[in-house]
């Protein structure tokens, strides 16, 4: 890629709204950097998502609605992707798609873009969703394949994660509020990653309002994302940091926690 920016980030996720948290703050923090390039890849358009009672959507048009919500979300955050690819797999069935084909398609984008950092789901999928897990696994394989071929970029592979200590704190709060605690053994429930596995943690408090502005654009899935009525201020406190596991290169035990996805590159 000619004139490749010195800070290029590629995010690979399954559904619209997967990208609205976990890395949105990082994008907002780098929004005005002329050397920053943001590439976003969605495996599906979320057409099989839940439709809340009374929401003006049908099974036939939900996918298009969610695509439009995704575009509005990034505009509200203040930084749209420089490139946004939809792979158009059927929502909920990505794990049944040919895995080699999925890897090939993600790898092709990596070769064209040569991003410095690639981010995706870890083996837990954050919620155990099969689409999340297979997208993460395919992105990992594509990363290692393209890197081994001698492609430029590909200096760091990150997995989005929720700190175990944060997970426990949130579950305690849920119980106090009378909500069902998250059960890590169940699909669609959050699960935590050991605090000692976190390699990058970005302070996003300065852009938390922009993250929440983006989340609020996912109106069709608000009942899924939010779970209950909360004020913007409450949600801003929840998105004040982004935690990630460094999946590659190997991390030396005891290495200092990085505060930015590009730190040290």
Query: Does 41 map to a domain?
Result: yes
Q: Report pLDDT digits (tens) over 236-264.
A: 888 999 999 999 999 988 899 999 999 99
Query: Does 68 map to a domain?
Result: yes
Distance in angstroms (rounded) separating the CA atoms of residues 230 and 56: 22
- Whether the link from the prior residue into 249 is cis, omega within 30° of 0, is yes
Query: Does 35 map to a domain?
Result: yes
pLDDT higher than threshold 60 for residue 131? yes
Q: Report pLDDT digits (tens) over 134-167.
A: 999 999 999 999 999 999 999 999 999 999 999 9
Query: Does 241 map to a domain?
Result: yes
Query: Does 152 map to a domain?
Result: yes
Confirm whether pTM is higher than 0.85: yes
Task: State the CATH number of the domain containing residue 198.
Answer: 3.40.50.10320
21 DSSP 8-state letter = S
Number of folded domains in the chain? 1
DSSP result, 166-226: HHHHHHHHHHHTTPPPP-TTSTTS---B-GGGEEEEEE-GGGHHHHHHHHHT-GGGHHHHH
Query: Does 253 map to a domain?
Result: no
pLDDT class of 178 with cuts at 50, 70, 90: confident
DSSP result, 73-92: HHHHHT---SEEEEEEEPTT
Angle made by CA atoms 32, 34, 39, in degrees to the nearest 5: 85
Q: Which domain, by its residues, includes 105? A: 7-248
Give the sheet arrangement for strand 7-13, strand by strand: 83-89, 36-44, 7-13, 117-121, 156-161, 241-248, 198-203
């Amino acid at each position: 890629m000619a004139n490749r920016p010195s800070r290029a980030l590629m995010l690979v996720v399954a559904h619209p709204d997967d990208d609205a948290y976990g890395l949105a703050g990082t994008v907002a923090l780098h929004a005005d950097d002329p050397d920053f390039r943001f590439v976003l890849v969605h495996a599906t358009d979320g057409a099989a998502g839940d439709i809340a009672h009374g929401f003006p959507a049908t099974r036939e048009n939900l996918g298009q609605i969610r695509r439009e919500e995704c575009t509005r979300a990034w505009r509200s955050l203040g930084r749209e992707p420089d490139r946004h690819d939809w792979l158009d797999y059927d929502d909920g069935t990505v794990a049944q798609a040919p895995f080699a084909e999925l890897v090939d398609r993600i790898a092709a984008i990596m070769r064209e873009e040569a991003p410095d950092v690639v981010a995706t789901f870890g083996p837990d999928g954050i919620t155990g969703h099969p689409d999340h897990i297979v997208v993460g696994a395919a992105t990992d394989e594509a990363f290692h394949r393209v890197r081994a071929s001698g492609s430029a970029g590909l200096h760091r592979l990150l997995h989005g994660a929720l700190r175990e200590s944060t997970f426990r704190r949130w579950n305690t709060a849920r119980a106090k509020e009378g909500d069902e605690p998250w059960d890590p053994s169940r699909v669609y429930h959050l699960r935590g990653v050991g605090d000692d596995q976190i390699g990058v943690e970005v302070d996003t408090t300065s852009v938390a309002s922009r993250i929440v502005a983006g989340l609020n654009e996912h109106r069709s899935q608000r009942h899924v994302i939010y779970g209950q009525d909360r004020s913007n201020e409450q949600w801003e406190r929840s998105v004040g940091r982004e935690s990630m596991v460094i999946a590659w290169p190997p991390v030396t035990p005891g290495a200092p926690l990085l505060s930015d996805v590009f730190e040290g590159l």
